[in-house]
Chains A and B, each alone.
Chain A
């Protein structure tokens, strides 16, 4: 009997493979955005696709975010399944009207008659020295506005499976991928940015968190880079005798409350780690949910690690100083476990 070969892919290759397989399956799927053709996307999400599908289905657009996101909305309302790439999430400012007044509201305002089966994929995050207007995650900015699913997978496996789900979803999905988890040669190399990805098509549901490691002493909730840091932190905590549970959110809207509440019930202690601004962010939302629905399960006040209310510094040491990391998680989780 032939043994199945295990295959490792980087985050970007997992994404482009997902798009490729859906484009092969459904001719309504096409991609549009800046530098997605020959360049393969600044962060590699469309690598190699132009060769197979040509410029009609892999469209390098003018620099006009309002233009191509509006175009995706128009095409989606006619039954196409466009994937628009916003090069950096930070550029949403140029085109927010199309995103939140139209993409997020047309299905609702038409009483559900107009579906917008589109994906808005966008690169998020910092940690590689790219300054205030190119390093934000803005998870909560999008999640705050009703009408769109917002997902942020961490591993290559989930990047592929959730991209496939996002393309097949009949709702607009904002698909955030973290630049440093794409596994690109010119970035820092991280163990999490490469992982096993089956060759066949599979889907990972949107709206489900994943328990990466089970534990009993403290719950750590992260997503993307903070999950990556969490993976390293839980090992160290283990060595120090603290058995932490690590949850990878994967999806922000819909949020998997159940998995978080179940975990807090078990551990009684919650640390939320977010690479977004602290005020009014995901960490605040999760803390509020636990306060509303799981307060009596808590044995200590909730802790949050997130970015202070200041734009991301360009300077590498200062950026590293404000970003969450494994060491900060170990410290906070240890304090929490001992409270």
Chain B
């Protein structure tokens, strides 16, 4: 007689899957499908969130154009990720600390970075990283995963300081495979550090599709191993992203520890402006499928039906943003020229003999 297996692995796996349903409030056509969990946002706040998302789309379009003209350096496209980025950021407060990835420039600007500085960062000018005193953020991380552990450290510090602010950080579906990501969550869970971790699952890591990153059905389930809540949310739905983030922030701020949020989203364009052609690894159907889920389209429909949004209003925001970006690009052009001697000087508080000699050598060259 066949003995019973000690554990039913299949049942275990499917019960796991059931733990991470995708939270949605607004469907792709702008209809409310989950009234019960509608976030508490006033009409003004709803409009403001839409304004930020439109602003971000324009920032994206202008950045692509500026990059083509050679007026920007590195740029990672954000179109498609507006709900994931702006609606999550919308739930945080000015005092909260942001640890962004290279694609998270919109949140960074909303948190207080000047657009001109974001442009300077993109061009590799050190002024772009010279953050104002009241901006609680670090420059965007480009070494995949590293921000998760550093953000965790920041949150542990906040706890030790008895600060009432929280930390939030972003990585991607690709980044979720990095050991640092688990280590950050595990450590934060252990110390109940006030932090919200985001995985913006936009389906690709450069050319590598999400399925190749992990056998986990939901990336949010990685939270379970760290003993913290994990949530999967429709990353094209600003209301759901906001509602879940707000809950997570409150949870963390109340001393309950970290939360992991996976936003299911899409990047509409290439990985970056340095030579990527997404048609090499991504089908037209995939682009079409996601464009039908455009967060701007569904939020616009929702707000228009409520009588809160008009075409004129949107035009007005677009005009204003274009003007703002034009000014910022001009301002960035005015930044002082950088010097190797200054780079060398910024290496140490007191440069050793070797570096002093190099500084002298470069100063002599530069004054020619």
Contact = CB atoms under 8 A, between A and B. Distances in A.
Interface of A: 34-35, 37-39, 42, 60-64, 66-67, 90-91, 93-94, 129-131, 133-134, 184, 186, 279, 308-311, 313-315, 318, 321-322
Contacts of B174: 62-63
29 contacts: A34-B205, A35-B208, A38-B281, A39-B281, A60-B208, A62-B212, A62-B213, A63-B178, A63-B208, A66-B179, A93-B143, A94-B178, A94-B179, A129-B73, A130-B274, A186-B275, A308-B362, A309-B354, A309-B355, A309-B358, A310-B344, A310-B358, A313-B343, A314-B124, A314-B125, A315-B123, A315-B124, A318-B343, A321-B340
A64 B61 CA distance: 32
B175 interface: yes
A62 B358 contact: no
Nearest to B282: A38
B171 to A, nearest CB: 9
Contacts of B125: 314-315
Contacts of B180: 94
Interface centre among B125, B212, B280 (most CB of A within 10 A): B212
Contacts of B344: 308-310
Contacts of A67: 177, 179
Closest 3 CB pairs of A and B: A314-B124, A62-B177, A39-B207
B208 A131 contact: no
Interface residues of B, number: 38
Contact of A63 (B142, B144, B339, B343): B144
Contacts of A321: 340
Q: DSSP majority for the A interface?
A: loop
Interface of B: 73-74, 123-125, 142-146, 174-175, 177-180, 205-208, 212-214, 274-275, 280-281, 338-340, 343-344, 347, 354-355, 358, 361-362
B280 A39 contact: yes
Contact of B123 (A34, A90, A314): A314
A317 to B, nearest CB: 8
A44 B340 CA distance: 32
A91 B143 contact: yes
B338 A318 contact: yes
Contacts of B214: 62
B143 A133 contact: yes
Nearest to B128: A314
Contacts of A62: 174, 177, 208, 212-214
B177 to A, nearest CB: 3
Given A34-B208, A130-B274, 14 more contacts: A39-B207, A42-B206, A62-B213, A94-B144, A131-B74, A186-B274, A308-B340, A308-B362, A309-B347, A310-B344, A310-B358, A313-B338, A315-B123, A318-B339
Contacts of A129: 73, 124
A314 B206 contact: no
Contacts of A279: 354
B356 to A, nearest CB: 11
A311 B125 CA distance: 14
A40 to B, nearest CB: 8
A127 to B, nearest CB: 14
